[in-house]
Amino acid sequence: MDVAVKAETGAEIRKLARTGTFNSQTAGQAPDYLQGNVVILPLRYAGDFLQYCLNNPKPCPLIGLSDPGDPFIPSLGADLDIRSDIPSYRIYRQGRLAGQANDISDLWADDHVTFVLGCSFTFEEALMRAGFGVRHIEQGRNASMFKTNIQTIPGGIFEGPLVVTMRPFRASEIAEVYDICAQYPHAHGAPVYWGDPEAIGIIDLQSPDYGDALDMRDDEIPVFWACGVTPQAAIEAAKPDLCVTHTPGYMLVTDVPSRKPPETITGMASFQHHAITTKN
């Protein structure tokens, strides 16, 4: 598929990903639908990871949680199959990146639990409708993502640095950008920091840990949001024997409207916490 073509719905992107005809990053795709980061773990790690999400709702806003062994999450998409509907997956073994794939059906097991976390790509259409440019979309690149010196709150075996996305804006724009993004707490919400990147441990904006470097203009300030790639840094530290995630920037695109209130799509977390921990 020509990446210049813009899909209008999550179902369209998922179908294209499932058939192998779309394998690009998803910024700007399906503009009215919630996008999600994905973490798939064996059941024995799921209780700890759920606690990690609950302890760190800013980088890990939980929007979907599967039953063990179930690859379908109907609350996020009627035909959604987590094994095939993401454009690119990362496979971690013992905390190390072991490979990438466009379909993980051959890895799927009856004890796998899927976590879906909101993504900041969700609010970018609102920014553009308000007249603000989103640089990585303008440049046809992936977002810039960086590990910081800010530590997340541990959850069982999972802990590590906060990962952030960066988008440049003029100082006069930041207040309105903040207010727009604050309306999307289920997609990381308002930025966590802006200004000198070295203050949060980022030495070079042209050398992101994930994604692509972006051009910045002389009158712009880097603005940073909590990022759903944060769990991938925690996975590197925790070293589970197997974990599958999305490739940063290559998100699961759902059928949930972008502005849907978070409580209507994350209410299952406390209910399933008991089920996961008692099976662990």
Are both 107 and 184 inside the same structural domain?
no
Are both 204 and 105 inside the same structural domain?
no
Separation between Cα atoms, residue 117 and residue 132, nearest integer Å: 25
Asked if the structure places residue 196 within a domain, the reply is yes
Are both 138 and 94 inside the same structural domain?
no
Are both 113 and 131 inside the same structural domain?
no
Output the tens digit of pLDDT for each of the chain's 280 residues: 344 557 899 999 999 999 988 989 998 899 889 999 999 999 999 999 999 999 999 999 999 999 999 999 999 998 999 999 999 999 999 999 999 999 999 999 999 999 999 999 989 989 999 999 999 999 999 999 999 999 999 999 999 999 999 999 999 999 999 999 999 999 999 999 999 999 999 999 999 999 999 999 999 999 999 999 999 999 999 999 999 999 999 999 999 998 875 555 544 454 455 556 555 5
Asked if the structure places residue 62 within a domain, the reply is yes
Asked if the structure places residue 244 within a domain, the reply is yes
Asked if the structure places residue 22 within a domain, the reply is yes
Asked if the structure places residue 231 within a domain, the reply is no
Are both 59 and 141 inside the same structural domain?
no
Domain span including residue 165: 122-226
Pairing of strands 33-42, 243-246: antiparallel
Query: Which DSSP symbol is given to 155?
Result: B
Are both 126 and 115 inside the same structural domain?
no
| Cβ count near 264 (within 10 Å) | 11
Separation between Cα atoms, residue 63 and residue 254, nearest integer Å: 10
End-of-domain residue from the set 200, 226, 252: 226
Are both 171 and 141 inside the same structural domain?
yes
Separation between Cα atoms, residue 68 and residue 46, nearest integer Å: 9
Domain count, the chain: 2
Please enumerate in sequence order all residues whose Cβ is within 8 A of that of 202, keeping only pairs 6 or more positions apart, or say none: 146, 148
Please enumerate in sequence order all residues whose Cβ is within 8 A of that of 236, keeping only pairs 6 or more positions apart, or say none: 92, 95, 96, 160
Are both 90 and 110 inside the same structural domain?
yes
Asked if the structure places residue 203 within a domain, the reply is yes
Are both 16 and 111 inside the same structural domain?
yes
Are both 197 and 214 inside the same structural domain?
yes
Give the pLDDT confidence score for residue 189 in this predicted structure: 94
Are both 242 and 113 inside the same structural domain?
yes
Task: Quote the pTM value.
Answer: 0.91
| Token couple for 97 | 């990146």
End-of-domain residue from the set 183, 205, 226: 226
Asked if the structure places residue 31 within a domain, the reply is yes
List the CATH number of the domain containing 164: 3.30.2040.10
Are both 40 and 141 inside the same structural domain?
no
Asked if the structure places residue 4 within a domain, the reply is no
**4 three-state secondary structure:** coil
List the CATH number of the domain containing 99: 3.40.1640.10
Give me the residues paired with residue 113 across strands: 41
